[in-house]
Amino acid sequence: MRLAFTLEYDGTDFSGFQSQKDVPTIQDSVEDALKKITNKNTRINYSGRTDAGVHALSQVCDFETNIKRSNKEWINGINSNLPSTISVKDIFKVPNSFNSRFSAIERKYSYVIYNSKNKPLFLERNSYWVRNSLDIDLMKKQLQSFKGEKDFSSFRSSNCNSKNPTKTVKEINLTTFNEFIIITIIANAFLQNMVRIMVGTLIDIAKNENNMSIQDILDKKDRKIAGKTAPACGLFFLGPKYTDELQLNTCEENIFDRYKI
């Protein structure tokens, strides 16, 4: 049978999600935990390959097993063998054809900016501190140019190996709460560092350090024209969305509600 589970983690101390040699990763931690409770080497699929330092509220993973346990036993067993910064939230039985990555129809990210002259002492690991005054109205206006099916060549890492730079942004919005600025993006898929470059460029525009519009930067299809890559600490993967038939309620709706900020 195949089981899927939702996972949350603070990515600060990890070199990304995907397994790598000689560095700590989320995938290795989860697979090590599964091995301890199943006595088998278990390879997991995952819905999004988050980079080093990026966090997740509802990463989705799946694996195959013949072991029958209650959901509570699976969750408690895995969590008892994970670092304190990684936690399984829920677990589901899914069709054998299910794949966390390829079955997803869209993915959702939020980026957290802390805009204040005072340092976010207790949120430094989970937000990007920007001391400059930002033109919020300008940011809201400019980010609308990202919406729709676009070529995001200007907003991809130079190391990105995706063959197709065209992605469809289904929804993008900016909300504020006290000193927090949250940019949330839903798309069918993302290029490497795409969200962080989008956010970094919006910040540069809002600080009047880049006089080009987002549309002009998209049209240039040149990474050198876009702004700086925003740091990983502010980025949260809220999760993927699947078809209603799978009955997987995995994606966090709102980062404000999740952390009560």
Shared fold status for 2-103 and 106-238? yes
pTM to 2 decimal places: 0.92
Alpha-helical runs (H) found in 80-155: 136-143
> Both tokens of residue 12?
């600060």
pLDDT of 259 strictly over 60? no
Tell me the mean pLDDT in the region 151-162.
Answer: 92
CA–CA separation, 23 vs 136, rounded Å? 39
For 134, phi then psi, to 5°, come to -115, 140
For 40, phi then psi, to 5°, come to -135, 150
What is the pLDDT of the chain when averaged over all its residues? 92
**Confidence at residue 210, expressed as pLDDT on a 0 to 100 scale:** 85
**Confidence at residue 17, expressed as pLDDT on a 0 to 100 scale:** 95
Q: How many CB atoms lie within 10 A of CB 261?
A: 14
Summarised one tens digit per residue, pLDDT across range 52-78 is 999 999 999 999 999 999 999 999 999
106-238: CATH architecture: 2-Layer Sandwich (3.30)
Cα–Cα distances in angstroms (integers) from residue 108 to residues 172, 184, 236, in the given order? 10, 7, 9
CA–CA separation, 22 vs 10, rounded Å? 20
More confident residue, 219 or 211: 219
Summarised one tens digit per residue, pLDDT across range 132-152 is 999 999 999 999 999 999 999
Contact yes or no for 36/28 (Cβ under 8 A): no
Largest CA distance in the chain: 59
CA–CA separation, 47 vs 159, rounded Å? 20
pLDDT of 251 strictly over 80? no
Q: 2-103, what's its fold?
A: Alpha-Beta Plaits (3.30.70)
**Confidence at residue 3, expressed as pLDDT on a 0 to 100 scale:** 95
Q: Domain map of the chain by residue range? A: 2-103, 106-238
> Both tokens of residue 52?
């080093």
Picking from 258, 245, 252, 238, the residue whose alpha carbon sits closest to that of residue 50 is 238
More confident residue, 258 or 87: 87
CA–CA separation, 28 vs 20, rounded Å? 8
CA–CA separation, 47 vs 250, rounded Å? 11
The percent of residues above 90 in pLDDT, for the chain, comes to 86
Contact yes or no for 118/130 (Cβ under 8 A): no
Contact yes or no for 167/152 (Cβ under 8 A): yes
Where does the pLDDT of residue 254 fall: very low under 50, low under 70, confident under 90, or very high at 90 and above? low
pLDDT of 46 strictly over 90? yes
Where does the pLDDT of residue 43 fall: very low under 50, low under 70, confident under 90, or very high at 90 and above? very high
Summarised one tens digit per residue, pLDDT across range 159-180 is 888 889 999 999 999 999 999 9
> Both tokens of residue 76?
């408690």
**Confidence at residue 39, expressed as pLDDT on a 0 to 100 scale:** 93
Contact yes or no for 55/236 (Cβ under 8 A): yes
Give catalytic residues, as residue numbers. Answer: 51
Where does the pLDDT of residue 261 fall: very low under 50, low under 70, confident under 90, or very high at 90 and above? very low
**Confidence at residue 256, expressed as pLDDT on a 0 to 100 scale:** 56
Q: How many CB atoms lie within 10 A of CB 43?
A: 10
Position of tokens 């207790």? 122
pLDDT of 249 strictly over 70? no
For 90, phi then psi, to 5°, come to -155, 160
pLDDT of 14 strictly over 60? yes
CA–CA separation, 97 vs 14, rounded Å? 30
How do strand 45-46 and strand 2-9 relate by DSSP bridges?
unpaired
Query: How many Å is the Cα radius of gyration of the chain?
Result: 19
Where does the pLDDT of residue 257 fall: very low under 50, low under 70, confident under 90, or very high at 90 and above? low
